[in-house]
Amino acid sequence: MSVGSTTPESDQSLRGERYEVEIGPVAHGGHCVARHEGRVIFVRHGLPGERAVVEITDGGPTSRFLRGDVVEVLHASPDRITPACPVAGPGMCGGCDWQHATPAAQRRLKGDVVAEQLLRLGKVDVQVEVEAVDSPPGQPEGLGWRTRVQFAVDPATGRAGLRKHRSHDVQPIDACPIAAPGVEELGIEAHAWPGVASIEAVSATGSLDRAVTVVPAEGADGRMPIVELNRAVSVFRADDKGRVRKVHGRPAVREVAAGRTWKVSGGGFWQVHPAAADVLVEAVVEGLEPRPGDLALDLYCGVGLFAGALSERLADSDTIIGVESSRQAVEDAIHNLRDVPGARFEVGTVEKVLSRPGFLRRADIVVLDPPRAGAGKAVVERIARLTPRRVAYVACDPAALARDVAYFAGAGFKLRSLRSFDLFPNTHHIESVAILEPAPRAAKREGARGRR
């Protein structure tokens, strides 16, 4: 049923058209699926089972599908709640996808997404129950957890805010409810940032370290704006090639997790939820079941988190090798594990390092934590050639995980177990740890080869 329009942009666009629809199942990416006259609409701000009016935000008469926002709820789901943030709604901030759903409903939706992706892309039929993660002390469930926030700056006003959904436009904000208190205490939203394109704010876990990385706007004169933030903070500057240099303060932040203090230099990767490092380490170590004497491989190792955790289960003389493309991260990893004699690290892309002649002929256990795009077929096949006993795959994207699980299956590995964690509450993002091992036929071949 069509319920009118709000001035479509042109004859080739349906933007602004409004349709009354029944909202169907959740889909990957923070939206649900609805249909109007047979055409699929990917709908944000709705929930399965609702009857709602949807306004089209993207697509035209010949598009394969449309995108839209719920602008009026006619029959609400019992899982619907009022968002904690005043700009978590249609046409506003694109950061949070599910603030209108209860935390329990969010976990069910995310579990459905992981299961659907694994079935469709990985040909693996599993039920996925997403595990809740404790909120930071004193914070309501799902809020106050994000220790790293990427603010965008409106070039017209110089105000910091967050990007709108599928847009370069900036939504000004006074505060972000999912940001950690240490981020909000800096007061970034209250200051003007002339000549700046974006600011990443970091509030480290387990220490009082805070940092901001400033990215100049295109065409800026190169001078850093003088901004007096509300708390002591280290300042970094990133150039257009992604290189980061210290301007003021400490050269790194100190994160505390898994029984260690970790040096993470400016611009380096670290999980954004304060509980994430411990949660993921526990899942990886439990799944891999490392043994003394194992040769362990940590791919996309960053500053050495999983290598450090595995080293606690291995003897000092055992070998653990980390591979990471960022030279600065490798330098941090070497510093962080300087007390582990058997740890060494290689700089380079994982695919290239694994392809080096004579790099490794075998590995007993492997952990990989690739970027959102996943590892890919070439890396999976190179891991399989090392004939590991177990592989732990840490994934932040269900589609990439499912695709790579299919590649592992083609290389003779099966999915042994899967755990998923709600480490990004109120967003569609989810972190999973998949444990893979040689399928029975492949394992039998390996046993026969070992007896020769």
Pair (234, 283) in one structural domain = no
Q: Is the pTM of this model over 0.85?
A: yes
Pair (321, 242) in one structural domain = no
Pair (63, 203) in one structural domain = no
Among 80, 103, 134, identify where a domain stops. Answer: 80
Among residues 400, 391, 451, 397, the alpha carbon closest in space to that of 429 is found at 397
Note the pLDDT of residue 329.
Answer: 97
CA distance 110 to 29: 10
Q: In total, how many domains does the chain have?
A: 3
Cβ atoms of 133 and 422 within 8 Å: the answer is yes
Distance of CA 382 to the CA centre of its chain: 24
Note the pLDDT of residue 224.
Answer: 72
Pair (426, 361) in one structural domain = yes
Note the pLDDT of residue 220.
Answer: 74
| Local structure of 104: helix, strand or coil | helix
Among residues 317, 258, 314, 260, the alpha carbon closest in space to that of 289 is found at 314
Note the pLDDT of residue 7.
Answer: 47
Laid out side by side, the sheet with 130-131 consists of 130-131, 413-421, 431-438, 390-395, 365-368, 296-299, 320-324, 343-347
Residues in the annotated binding site? 271, 300, 324, 369
- Both tokens of residue 23? 């909202």
**Residue 436 host element (H or E):** strand 431-438
Among 254, 287, 319, identify where a domain stops. Answer: 254
Among 80, 111, 138, identify where a domain stops. Answer: 80
Note the pLDDT of residue 449.
Answer: 44
Residues in the annotated binding site for S-adenosyl-L-methionine? 271, 300, 324, 369
Q: What is the DSSP letter of 240?
A: T
Annotated catalytic residues are 396
Pair (310, 434) in one structural domain = yes
Distance of CA 72 to the CA centre of its chain: 31
Note the pLDDT of residue 211.
Answer: 96
In the chain the first and final C-alpha atoms are separated, in Å, by: 71
Note the pLDDT of residue 451.
Answer: 38
Among residues 278, 281, 186, the alpha carbon closest in space to that of 235 is found at 186
CA distance 139 to 137: 6
Note the pLDDT of residue 448.
Answer: 45
The mean pLDDT values, 10 residues at a time, for the chain of 452 residues are 55 90 97 96 98 97 96 98 96 96 98 98 97 96 98 95 96 97 96 93 96 89 77 89 88 96 94 98 98 95 97 81 96 96 95 95 97 97 98 98 98 98 98 96 51 37
CA distances from 296 to 41, 239, 240, 279 (A): 46, 36, 36, 20
Q: Domain for residue 111, yes or no?
A: no
Parallel/antiparallel/unpaired status of strands 66-75 and 39-44: parallel
Pair (249, 302) in one structural domain = no
Q: Domain for residue 156, yes or no?
A: yes
CA distances from 197 to 60, 80, 222, 238 (A): 32, 35, 12, 11
Note the pLDDT of residue 254.
Answer: 97
Measured in degrees and rounded to the nearest 5, phi and psi for residue 112 equal: -60, -40
CA distances from 363 to 94, 120, 387, 389, 450 (A): 42, 30, 7, 8, 14
Pair (184, 285) in one structural domain = no
Q: Domain for residue 101, yes or no?
A: no
Distance of CA 226 to the CA centre of its chain: 32
Quote the domain boundaries for residue 239: 148-254
Pair (69, 218) in one structural domain = no
